[in-house]
A and B are shown apart, each in its own frame.
Chain A
Amino acid sequence: MNRLVSIVLHGARIALGVTFFYAGWIKAQEPIDFARAVANYQVLPYSWNYLVAATLPYVELLAGTLLVLNRRVRPAALVIGVLNFVFILALISVMARGLDIDCGCFAPSGQGHTTALEALLRDLGLMVLVVLAWLSRERRSVASSS
């Protein structure tokens, strides 16, 4: 049973890491397209969209890599958790304003349209993975200290 829990927790850590690594990687290739995707949210002043597009993919890449490598798991999970929380707020604001936009979460140039609701549900699922990834470190530290 313990083994099963451990597999689930570490599976969640790796899945979360791979997801954010992929999301960061694909957006880092097309920063201008991603800036437009950010601009679609109509939350930030024009130039700030470019600042976010320039930096966010690399934060995702770094945090995702650390999770996959099982290094600095909790700080990385915290970074991803906070980012994910901000994404959720942005998507709720999009839905509240009735904007019909692509979330720009992965491929910014819009291959495949993901609506705000689909993206919101996916982000809520990722939040569960964040908690599991956080706990994967707890179990290890408990096990090693006992």
Chain B
Amino acid sequence: MFDSFYEATTTIFNQSIQAWKESGKKVVGYTCSYVPAEIFFAADILPVRIRGIETEGMDIGDAYFGPFICSFPKCILQLAGKGKYRFLDGAIITPGCDAMRRLDECWRKAGEDYQGIVPPFFYYFDVPHKTLPHGMKWFQEEIRYLIDFVQKHFGLSISDEALRKAIALYNQGRQMLRELEEIRTRADVPITGTEAFAVTVAGTVMPRDVYTEKLGRLLESLKTRPPVSAGKKRLMVIGSISDDIEIVELIEKNPNALVVAENLCFGVRYEGNLVAETGDPVMAMAESYLGECTCPRMFGKYPERLEILKEKIAAAAIDGVIMQNIRFCDLHGSEHGLLERDLEKAGIPCLKIEREYGPLTDTGRMQMRIQAFLERISK
């Protein structure tokens, strides 16, 4: 049941991307959940999230980025330098945060030394930090520019009708992911956090029609699956970008821990808001994507983020929140300082962990903290 999800989640050039490429179609990678993937699907181009798993060293990443930068974009650059992203026909870089924004320049510079690692369509997609009307206007323009560039570069045309169809399909997936989220809030949870995270991450790297079909079948099978939650502490994982199921797996190695909720960029956060299926599709995408406020990159939205988090915590009867941030992650590092104060004040135990992205090197130290936290909330 989970095999294809796991394969997609734990492999960069996964089977569904391979099959897509073999059929002669294009693949474009993107680095941030604020990129409307519907645009590419409407153009019959496969949109996939650019990831950092499978990194085995950091010589290339460090050479261009320097030492005091989040290791996630460095891992991406490392993989690009090693040729792991040669299957991409395009890449979209965004200012999700400054480290990810610099991936644009660093990747281009590395491309001067490592031939052929910069995809032919290499585009910087700007995303405002404010949702005020002028920000929305700007974002709409950005989306229209992107559509124009895609059309010109790939020699195709993206109709409003095709966009609406893609939006409807993506909305279907969003609804299903919400259903999965809801299932995990129940007293009897039939799915582990590791499994659920694998399923969710897979949605960022599979053709959406294939994904929703598989997700539908999974949701059906969960109706009769026995619960795995008996006697376990219910945890929520939030924080820095993570496309690596190992972090959830590490937590769930503790026999009394179950991750029943998360708020991660590669997790439920990317489902964002539903997009209006009528009217101008560009305006609809702009409003729902930019209106999404659970990423700390968005200015002035902290109170809303806190409220959303509290609602999720209450809905899933969370015993404790694990806040993990990648070293040098400004966005989540500072957000966690605020959240910890507010959540602890509301009586919700929190554990802050700082880690490196990449193959989990600090497992011993992290496990000790997680165990201590579980002891704290098991009193």
A binds B: no
Binding site for A on B (CB under 8 A): none
